[in-house]
Chains A and B, each alone.
Chain A
């Protein structure tokens, strides 16, 4: 799928149809019930998602076997998806409990900061969620870059970097897309913060303010539907064959926005050597985040961008050894 020709539009249409059927109908439920009695359409979706990551990841590893970084990263993505995002939640449900996804954190998994959700879990899970989101994830992003999450753990990034990999080069590199991105990703982050804040304030105030409670509930529901389901799921995957794989990660994900701000002040960067750069453009072409890596390489400047998810593909496809993912000590720490 090199270009956005008619097969790309057809595939996007198929994906759209699948997601619409999944979200707005129960056509997949009978099929799911055949698996086991307790399974529903979301179980089936989980299986499909995991198979896509495992199969796509295996192909990716075979194609990129020369790069230890790519092989290890992909093995971790596959392992996290299989164990933490699939087997463990199913096992928890089979034991009669509620699923908990250890690989997802607030603000991507926004409900894990909603009191109604988090108090339905044991205290240890709540602690994991709060410490992980507010302390663990930003700290790791400072020292390792946001890649530790976006390219090594996250399921959205996981699908993008495995089954979605053949579409990575379709990301837009225009100035226009950059301006658009800066607005949208920070808007979604603001919405996530507002939604979380309203829900928490409402919970703190108790049932004394019914109007406030109604507004908070509407915002929570609105965010959950439009951002959580429509944007990150339906739109994010449907546009794979047209706009590349990281549309949600780049233009929407509040977690990526937050960790990106940390990364900007952290140790992670992609160093470049202008001396050796032949300006071929492989790095820019295969950047799934649409960063014009070549413009940095030609100037010998380090790529230190909030949006970079550190997948490492620019360095891997560079035919002249110009780029390297590095951890550099900052002046601050």
Chain B
């Protein structure tokens, strides 16, 4: 049996490793276009900041691949012959497969702004993006960062590290309003403004203007602000790489369409990770996070090896850091566009399918900001002290598995507040700023 995996990111690599665990005799080939070895895409900012070297972000030592008998190929797949079960590689080679996984990832969005491809306009999803950012470093005087999400704030931190004035352009009324409440975002805004960031809310990019040298000179916003800069960091989301699948005649939408076993519309081809769109009863899921890439890679590996697989990410979670401010989110929040499985909803609110958390659900929030500190806790729960559904924890560290379990166990708000200390993951000696409030 020859398994071929296209894409050596977290999804492809995890799938290949899972296949090796399941099938000791199989031939497993991992094709990577971007780098010779798997690296951690999430670590790009520290490469730019010289806190990590390029070799440091490879999670496995290089002997690992040989030891696991995973054959690494650096090439680009240009075509899939679905009926002949063959890949065409850019260097001309034809590579037959028995089972194929597409883990081709995603690429950064740009929304057709005039001047969006000028020299000095940088995204941040790949190693070559770091090369571009580094190329501007020498002449960098002022930077503009666009996009109120996790990568946007990383770009801001990278520019601050260069000790350059940075303007942060966020289209929404507050930072990351998909997830954070207004009060929480205020804390992040304070953090940004303290660091000297010029934060502009509720305005967006109109165009990028070139100087005489052909490089970006300024960014003009829709409200007419002119922001002089040598670098524009763009972080307004990503979209799935589906071209290869589309040309091969596979069904595609926002991503390569797969069922819950991550099978595409073509025989013996699976897709997983950032490039996949999973069919769901209400609204198909496109999950483009590090850990969902890992979970989908595991699921794809098992499915390809012949296991019965029903992929489900379970209770969603993630953690982040906003300029030294820890953040941990677990579960569903009113303003989060995640689909809550019907099984988690009280009987009267189920409609027999997975669905988006409707606004009319009787949800309440328990929110507390520690006085004088950039710490807050928000717990979303059903009205009347009912089961908890989500945690949004800013400025502190938490055991994600414990919070996930509490949601799965449908613990009441009162019970959760009484046991909150069990889930704290802060370092030793850190004062628990919530103890008094919770027990009152």
Which A residues are closer than 8 A to B by beta carbons? 2-3, 66-69, 72, 174-175, 273, 275-276, 278-282, 284-285, 294-295, 298, 312, 315-316, 319-322, 324-325
Contacts and interface: CB of A to CB of B under 8 A. Distances in A.
B425 A285 contact: no
Contacts of A278: 40, 42-43, 290-291
Contact of A320 (B51, B57, B61, B319): B319
A263 B400 CA distance: 27
B319 A321 contact: yes
B93 interface: no
Closest 8 CB pairs of A and B: A321-B397, A280-B43, A278-B42, A279-B59, A68-B429, A279-B40, A276-B319, A320-B319
Interface in B232-247: none
B429 A281 contact: no
Contacts of A282: 43, 46, 51-52
B321 interface: yes
A325 B427 contact: yes
Contacts of A284: 56
B13 to A, nearest CB: 10
A294 B51 contact: no
Contact of A273 (B56, B401, B431): B401
Contacts of B290: 278-279
Contact of A321 (B53, B58, B398): B398
Contacts of B43: 278-282
Contacts of B429: 68-69, 72
10 contacts: A68-B431, A174-B61, A275-B404, A276-B318, A276-B400, A278-B42, A281-B43, A312-B427, A312-B428, A321-B328
Given A279-B42, A324-B425, A294 B291 contact: no
B51 A275 contact: no
Interface string B397-440: 11111001000000000000000000001111111000000000
A280 B42 contact: yes
B401 A67 contact: no
Nearest to B58: A281
A68 B398 CA distance: 17
Given A67-B427, A275-B317, A320-B319, A280 B50 contact: no
B291 A275 contact: yes
Interface residues of B, number: 38
Nearest to A320: B319
B289 to A, nearest CB: 10
Q: Which of B63, B318, B324, B427 has the most CB of A within 10 A?
A: B427
B427 A281 contact: no
Nearest to A297: B59
Interface in B323-337: 324, 326, 328
A312 B59 CA distance: 21
A276 B401 CA distance: 10
B299 to A, nearest CB: 16
Contacts of B95: none
Interface of B: 10, 40, 42-43, 46, 50-53, 56-59, 61, 63, 290-291, 317-321, 324, 326, 328, 397-401, 404, 425-431
Given A280-B42, A285-B56, A320 B428 contact: no
Contacts of A275: 291, 317, 400-401, 404
B366 to A, nearest CB: 21
Contacts of B40: 278-281
Contacts of A298: 59
A310 to B, nearest CB: 10
Contacts of B404: 275
B134 to A, nearest CB: 15
Nearest to A292: B61
A320 B401 contact: no
Contacts of A319: 320-321
A124 B216 CA distance: 75
A174 B62 CA distance: 11
B428 A325 contact: yes
A2 B53 CA distance: 10
Nearest to A321: B397
Nearest to B60: A295
Q: Which of B52, B326, B431 has the most CB of A within 10 A?
A: B52
B59 A294 contact: yes
A281 B59 contact: yes
B428 A69 contact: yes
Contacts of B10: 279
